[in-house]
Amino acid sequence: MQYPEPLAKLIDSYMRLPGIGHKTAIRLAYFTVGMNKDDVKNFADALVSTKDKLKFCSICGNLTEEDPCEICRDPNRDRSKILVVEQSKDVMVMEQMKNYKGLYHVLHGVLSPIEGKGPEELNIKSLIKRLQKNESVNEVIIATNATPEGEATAMYLSKLIKPAGIKVTRLAHGLSVGSDIEYADNMTLYRAIKGRTQM
């Protein structure tokens, strides 16, 4: 017996989300069917609104409603430092720590030949242009995840940036190898920022 077409489409839609397998997608689809109509409508509206209203900051690449984003517009930020992260969610994690007051740059991924992601697919060109335009930047902190792809991306960026005479540092102790920034607690992130090392 096959699922009714609307339910099959919903299951397929949930399976497109990262980390959602077939069984979880079925469970979520049946849960959605059991929700009241207003909750389903609000959920759908939130999805459409997010897609319609959010864009990437033309300076740093972070998700924002206004361009440039709130962080890039803030005159009180330390403009001598740029912290480079993989995804917009990493910016939010770092901001919750409340100890880093510099600027950010979001790569939108890491170098991954297996997934077909080279330098052209990442937000690297705009970072180099930023550094060329802004003479006040004296340090780039690379905060990619401690994975083989994150390390390869960090090394690639370091080789691009160092010839410009800008100090390149990497998050240090506190983040274990193979872990993601979004799962680290505030103290771990604070120690990693404080203990960063030059590359």
Return the bridge partners of 56, or none. 63
Predicted confidence pLDDT, tens digits, the chain (199 residues): 899 999 999 999 999 999 999 999 999 999 999 999 999 999 999 999 999 999 999 999 999 999 999 999 999 999 999 999 999 999 999 999 889 999 999 999 999 988 889 999 999 999 999 999 888 999 999 999 888 899 899 999 999 999 999 999 988 656 666 777 887 777 677 767 777 777 7
Is the backbone of residue 178 left (phi > 0), alpha (psi -120 to 50) or beta?
Answer: left
DSSP 8-state secondary structure symbol assigned to residue 11: H
Q: What is the 3-state secondary structure (H, E, C) of 128-180?
A: HHHHHHCCCCCEEEECCCCCHHHHHHHHHHHHHHHHHCCEEEECCCCCCCCCC
Residues 6 or more apart whose CB falls under 8 angstroms from that of 142 comprise: 84, 153, 154, 157, 158, 168, 169, 170, 171, 199
pLDDT for 180 equals 79
Residue 20 near residue 14, CB atoms below 8 Å:
yes
φ and ψ at 56, to 5 degrees?
A: -95, 135
Q: Is residue 105 exposed (0-12), middle (13-18) or buried (19+ Cβ within 10 Å)?
A: buried
pTM of the full structure: 0.80
pLDDT for 59 equals 96
pLDDT for 192 equals 76
Reported residue count of the chain is 199
Domains of the chain, earliest start first: 5-53 (1.10.8.420), 58-198 (3.40.1360.10)
| Residue 1 tokens, joined | 């017996």
